[in-house]
């Protein structure tokens, strides 16, 4: 309720000020100020020294259609019109119709008091749209060039102050006015002031100073919030507020005193255009500002329509001439008011129950309305300049500034609070990790001690396999112990680890570290070089922590250097010693180099195994704890160099003997040994699969770069009758698939070196469908995005780490059953195809043999043998061979062709080209159905018959089988005919060929013929 009370107070104050402003004209004018009557203003009794200037308001004489001087009045005795000045002349400038366009002469006599003063100041504010001012026959002021002819008129309307030398106590004032450029009201719109020089000059300057100051304040606000928006573009209200201030400033400096026209030489047309555009743009941007404050994402049709109308109005102002768009001034003002008031009322309705957030918007809007009401009424000629200083425009800018600044600092305060909260949570998290690490160490050490005792024979004799698996479990447990140690080190470093500083010889520490590394690496592929001079570089450091830094960096270099050289160097640099560890390994991508020292950052996963990502982070913290710095330079494919600095020390300090160094490094040696055990290749892991007899049911390809993971997965599936082949990366997996075709399932890890699991799966799907070779993806992440990415790559199923044995076995069995179902369906299709011996073919074949037997018994016997061969191969339902020698398939084809040639005689011409001694295997019933298709759907569809060509030959280590006919053919777009030619039989053949890496292609042209080509790799067919 308190907030609503504030709003009610703001509205009450607004209406109170509005009333005061309306009454200001009456309060502001002294009661004794003279008023012109019948063209004469008697100021003879006015005290100019005490009361200041007078306003030449009242009844003036007006001569329409005439531009004359005082000597020329009256022209022909015609009485002048008596008009009110200031005021628009639309009703009297023409005797024919109401119009703003025309010309005429105003005339006024002013009676002055007797005084010594002879020079008077005269201030002109707003006369549309050109005029010439004469006092006692002398031109004292002029704006533009008034003329009776519109084409000769030069429009200009800038307020000014002029001076006139008056002799005597009478002023004869003649004002020639012509307006052919402003169609929304002409004549004298502003009060003309007459008074002493100092007073009129001071009044003019104060008004100009206010406009200049207010415009400058608005421009500064505009620039300031524009910079805030450029700094943080999330606050879109800043840009709307900036533009609102900019257009308010433009409207101010092109109205009232029009100070902008003193700075820039603008034509009347463009000055008027800028004023109209700034009014429209102010309404547009301020409405967007209110909408952004409370309704940023609400779709509002009325708002869109109103804003569109303002945009269209601005386009009209740009395209039309001044006398055309000024005619629409009242329409433009109405649209602007409707738009601003609509958004203002919408905002009030939305926030009435929580107005504290927008009370400054209400104040700014009311300030703008207060200023706009009287400025628009004055522009329309409905009110006159009452001398009010428009401080409300400053209130508009200040209230908006308060609003935007309040919002900005509120957001900043929330950000600071969130930052403090995050710091507390981060500290709590670190404390939780430290406490958890401490709590886990005790039971973990107890578990490892028990396992180690069992390994050492404390529980009786173990088999070799049992001992090897227990040793692997101990190794994994030790790795977990060292991970807990790393977490504790981080906690100690963040809490301010105490260092035990001593003088260390860099050469001795490095030499011992490299000697340890040589025992655990293959020096034939990786050479370790110590280039640190003896007894030359001494540092002041904590011995154990310096060893930890050296160990971590050396291990990192070995891990990423499959073959090459790792060099350690040192160099004195003032009070610091720089130590460099350089390798010739795979390098680090430039975009990753800044991040590798971050906590839990694991580097480039495409080229490395997953790890905890703590080693380099700990190195950085330890180096900085010693007062040094660490950096990295690297190029992909060329190597990496880590450099860090340590404080230099003299040799006279407490030193550590090399033997003590070697003893102190045993902890690091144990850690390296545990890490190295993880990298043992699968062949070294003592896993024994079951016998070959038990491993014939399915063949599985396991792809994982972690040997331990490979071992665990194989152990989980050890009870099943599977043959499992393990590879370490994507390239090896694709090579294995290429070398051997009979795979039943691929278990594929997502995170692989060189090529991700997604890429491997996509490459695999280029050759195998999801039913022909199922893929089970394995990953440590189980988010929805990961699942979708896996399925999009072509995976059949997904399982997350750590893998549960029952779940893994169930998913593997399901995928293998699906694979078997697909294989069984293919075999069923084969049995179906073998059974499809058409009855009419049997009848026709026997008829042909019978006919031949009447003329040539020997030939009939040969045909019977061919028919027998054909039937033997066709009715061999019990045959389960997936591949047969190609010569055996060709025997079937030859037998079939000889029978068909007897049947069709000269209508069938057969060209048979087969290389001799051609070896290799092929799926059964592959060539004969294609030849039969060529005869039935090709040449025999024509009465004249045709030719069928069969060619079998070797080409580029491939066996090529080509069947061509010169039948009717079909176009590429004839899908129905193509599917007819490529029916169940050909689709079955195509699938079986793909399983052994073969290809089947069909090309055809209308009225030319059809060609079917099979291509099988000879090496693949021989392996099969």
Residue 653 DSSP SS3: coil
If asked whether residues 486 and 507 sit together in one domain, one would say no
Rounded Cα distance, 394 and 218, in Å: 8
If asked whether residues 74 and 137 sit together in one domain, one would say yes
Domain end, chosen from 833, 851, 880, is at: 833
CATH number at residue 439: 1.10.287
CB atoms inside a 10 Å sphere around CB 1002:
17
Rounded Cα distance, 249 and 400, in Å: 14
CATH number at residue 649: 3.30.565.10
Residue 28 lies in a domain: no
For residue 751, give Cα distances in angstroms to 94, 227, 454, 778, 985. Answer: 90, 45, 35, 9, 41
If asked whether residues 823 and 731 sit together in one domain, one would say yes
Summarised one tens digit per residue, pLDDT across range 154-171 is 999 999 999 998 888 899
Q: What was the pLDDT predicted at 684?
A: 40
Domain end, chosen from 390, 407, 435, is at: 390
If asked whether residues 58 and 113 sit together in one domain, one would say yes
Residue 15 lies in a domain: no
Rounded Cα distance, 42 and 113, in Å: 9
User: Which residues are CB-contacts of 974 (< 8 A; sequence separation ≥ 6)?
Assistant: none
Residue 884 lies in a domain: yes
DSSP code of residue 388: -
Q: What was the pLDDT predicted at 366?
A: 65
Residue 528 lies in a domain: yes
Q: What was the pLDDT predicted at 60?
A: 94
Q: Are strands 908-914 and 946-955 parallel, antiparallel or unpaired?
A: parallel
Residue 78 lies in a domain: yes
Residue 5 lies in a domain: no
User: Which residues are CB-contacts of 457 (< 8 A; sequence separation ≥ 6)?
Assistant: none
Rounded Cα distance, 33 and 874, in Å: 128
Domain end, chosen from 678, 704, 735, is at: 678
If asked whether residues 216 and 329 sit together in one domain, one would say yes
If asked whether residues 568 and 688 sit together in one domain, one would say no
Phi then psi for residue 611, to 5 deg, are: -145, -175
Rounded Cα distance, 963 and 912, in Å: 10
If asked whether residues 656 and 583 sit together in one domain, one would say yes
Torsion of CA 387, 214, 271, 154, to 10 degrees: 40
If asked whether residues 522 and 477 sit together in one domain, one would say no
DSSP code of residue 950: E
Q: How far is CA 647 from the centre of its chain?
A: 45
If asked whether residues 306 and 245 sit together in one domain, one would say yes
If asked whether residues 579 and 692 sit together in one domain, one would say no
Domains of the chain: total: 6
Rounded Cα distance, 991 and 538, in Å: 72
Residue 13 lies in a domain: no
The domain of 181 spans: 33-195
CATH number at residue 708: 3.40.50.2300
DSSP code of residue 477: H
If asked whether residues 626 and 728 sit together in one domain, one would say no
Rounded Cα distance, 480 and 492, in Å: 19
Q: Is the pTM of this model over 0.85?
A: no
DSSP 85-147: ESEE-TTTS-SSS--S-EEEEEEEEEEPPS-S--EEEEEE--EESEEEEEETTEEEEEESB--
Q: What was the pLDDT predicted at 148?
A: 93
Structure token digits, residue 108: 């006024």
For residue 798, give Cα distances in angstroms to 151, 319, 733, 768, 801. Answer: 85, 65, 18, 18, 10
All residue ranges of the chain with pLDDT < 50 are 1-2, 26, 30-31, 355, 605-610, 653, 655-664, 678-695, 877-880, 975-976, 979-981, 984
Residue 265 DSSP SS3: coil
If asked whether residues 908 and 998 sit together in one domain, one would say yes
Q: How far is CA 681 from the centre of its chain?
A: 42
Residues 500 and 542: beta-carbon distance below 8 Å: yes
Summarised one tens digit per residue, pLDDT across range 616-636 is 888 888 898 888 999 999 888
Summarised one tens digit per residue, pLDDT across range 643-695 is 999 999 876 545 444 444 444 455 555 555 555 554 444 434 444 444 444 44
Phi then psi for residue 157, to 5 deg, are: -145, 85
What distance separates the 2 farthest-apart alpha carbons in the chain? Answer: 159
Residue 406 lies in a domain: no
């Amino acid at each position: 309720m308190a907030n609503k009370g504030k709003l009610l107070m703001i509205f009450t104050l607004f209406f109170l000020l509005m009333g005061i402003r309306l009454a200001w004209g009456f309060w502001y004018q002294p009661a004794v100020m003279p008023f012109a009557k019948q063209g004469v203003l008697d100021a003879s009794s006015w005290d100019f020294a005490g009361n200041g200037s007078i306003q030449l308001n009242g009844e003036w004489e007006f001569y329409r259609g005439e531009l004359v001087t005082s000597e020329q009045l009256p022209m022909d005795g015609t009485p002048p019109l008596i008009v009110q000045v200031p005021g628009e002349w639309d009703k009297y400038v023409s005797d024919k119709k109401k119009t703003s366009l025309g010309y005429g002469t105003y005339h006024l006599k002013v009676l002055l008091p007797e005084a010594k003063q002879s020079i008077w100041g005269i201030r002109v504010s707003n006369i549309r749209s050109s005029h010439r001012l004469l006092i006692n026959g002398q031109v004292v002021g002029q704006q533009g060039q008034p003329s009776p002819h519109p084409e000769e008129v030069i429009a200009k309307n800038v307020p000014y102050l002029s001076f006139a030398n008056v002799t005597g106590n009478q002023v004869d004032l003649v004002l020639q006015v012509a307006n052919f450029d402003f169609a929304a009201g002409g004549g004298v719109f502003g009060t003309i002031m007459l008074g002493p020089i100092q007073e009129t000059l001071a009044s003019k300057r104060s008004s100009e100073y206010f406009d200049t100051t207010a415009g400058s304040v608005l421009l500064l606000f505009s620039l300031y919030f524009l910079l805030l928006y450029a700094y943080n573009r999330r606050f879109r209200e800043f840009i709307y507020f900036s533009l609102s201030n900019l257009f308010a400033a433009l409207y101010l400096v092109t109205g009232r005193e029009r100070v902008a026209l003193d700075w820039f030489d603008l034509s009347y047309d463009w000055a008027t255009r800028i004023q109209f555009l700034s009014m429209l743009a102010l309404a547009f941007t301020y409405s967007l500002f209110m909408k952004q404050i409370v309704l940023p994402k609400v779709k509002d049709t009325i708002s869109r329509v109103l804003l569109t109308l303002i945009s269209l109005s601005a386009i009209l102002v740009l395209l039309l001439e001044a006398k055309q768009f000024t005619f629409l001034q009242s329409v433009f003002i109405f649209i602007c008011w409707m738009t601003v008031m609509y958004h203002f009322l919408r905002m009030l309705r939305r926030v009435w129950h929580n107005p504290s957030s927008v009370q400054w918007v209400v104040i700014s809007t009311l300030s703008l309305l207060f200023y706009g009401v009287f400025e628009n009424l004055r522009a329309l000629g409905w009110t006159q300049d009452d001398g009010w200083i428009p401080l409300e425009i400053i209130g508009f800018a200040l209230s908006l500034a308060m609003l935007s600044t309040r919002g900005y600092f509120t957001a900043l305060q929330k950000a600071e609070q969130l930052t403090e909260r995050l710091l507390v949570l981060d500290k709590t998290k670190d404390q939780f990790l430290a406490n958890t690490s401490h709590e886990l160490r005790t039971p973990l050490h107890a578990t490892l001690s028990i396992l180690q005792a069992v390994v050492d024979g404390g529980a009786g004799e173990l088999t070799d396999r049992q001992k090897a698996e227990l040793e692997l479990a101990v190794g994994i447990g030790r790795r977990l112990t060292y991970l807990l140690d790393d977490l504790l080190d981080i906690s100690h470093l963040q809490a301010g680890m105490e260092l035990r500083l001593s003088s260390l010889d860099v050469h001795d520490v490095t030499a011992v570290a490299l000697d340890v590394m040589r025992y655990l690496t293959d020096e034939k592929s990786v050479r370790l070089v110590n280039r640190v001079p003896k007894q030359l570089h001494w540092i002041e450091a904590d011995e154990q922590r310096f060893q930890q830094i050296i160990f971590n960096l050396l291990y990192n270099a070995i891990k990423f250097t499959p073959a090459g050289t790792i060099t350690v160097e040192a160099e004195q640099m003032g009070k610091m010693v720089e130590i460099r560890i350089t390798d010739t390994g795979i390098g680090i991508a430039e975009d990753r180099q800044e991040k590798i020292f971050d906590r839990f950052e694991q580097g480039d996963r495409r080229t490395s195994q997953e790890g905890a990502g703590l080693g380099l982070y700990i190195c950085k913290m330890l180096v900085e704890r010693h007062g040094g710095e660490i950096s990295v330079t690297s190029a992909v494919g060329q190597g990496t160099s880590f450099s860090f600095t340590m404080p230099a020390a003299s040799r006279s300090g407490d030193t550590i003997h090399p033997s003590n160094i070697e003893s102190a490094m045993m902890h690091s040696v144990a850690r390296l040994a545990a890490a190295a055990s993880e990298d043992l290749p699968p062949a070294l892991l003592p896993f024994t699969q079951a016998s070959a007899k038990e491993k014939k049911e399915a063949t599985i390809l396991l792809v994982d770069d972690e040997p331990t993971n490979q071992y665990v997965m194989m152990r989980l599936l050890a009870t099943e009758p599977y043959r499992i082949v393990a590879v370490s990366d994507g390239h090896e997996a694709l090579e294995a698939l290429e070398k051997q075709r009979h795979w039943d399932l691929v278990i594929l890890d997502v995170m692989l070196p060189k090529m991700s699991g997604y890429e491997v799966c996509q490459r695999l799907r280029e050759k195998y469908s999801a039913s022909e070779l199922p893929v089970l993806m394995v990953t440590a992440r189980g988010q929805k995005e990961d699942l979708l990415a896996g399925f999009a790559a072509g995976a059949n199923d997904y399982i997350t780490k750590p893998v549960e044995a029952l779940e893994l076995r169930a998913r593997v069995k399901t995928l293998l059953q699906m694979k078997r179902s697909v294989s069984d369906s293919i075999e069923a299709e084969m049995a179906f195809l073998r059974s499809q011996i058409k009855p009419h073919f049997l009848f026709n074949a026997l008829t042909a043999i019978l006919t031949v037997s009447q003329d040539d018994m020997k030939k009939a016997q040969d045909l019977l043998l061919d028919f027998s061969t054909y039937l033997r191969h066709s009715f061999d339902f019990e045959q389960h061979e997936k591949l047969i020698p190609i010569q055996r398939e060709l025997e079937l084809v030859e037998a079939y062709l000889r029978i068909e040639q007897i049947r069709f005689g000269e209508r069938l011409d057969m060209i048979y080209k087969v290389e001799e001694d051609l070896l290799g295997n092929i799926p059964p019933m592959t060539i004969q159905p294609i030849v039969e298709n060529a005869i039935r759907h090709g040449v025999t569809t024509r009465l004249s018959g045709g030719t069928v060509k069969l060619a079998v030959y070797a080409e580029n280590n491939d066996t090529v089988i080509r069947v061509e006919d010169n039948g009717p053919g079909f176009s590429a777009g004839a899908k129905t005919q193509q599917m007819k030619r490529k029916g169940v039989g050909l689709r079955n053949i195509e699938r079986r060929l793909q399983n052994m890496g073969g290809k089947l292609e069909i090309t055809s042209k209308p009225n030319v013929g059809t060609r079917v080509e099979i291509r099988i790799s000879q090496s693949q067919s021989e392996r099969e």
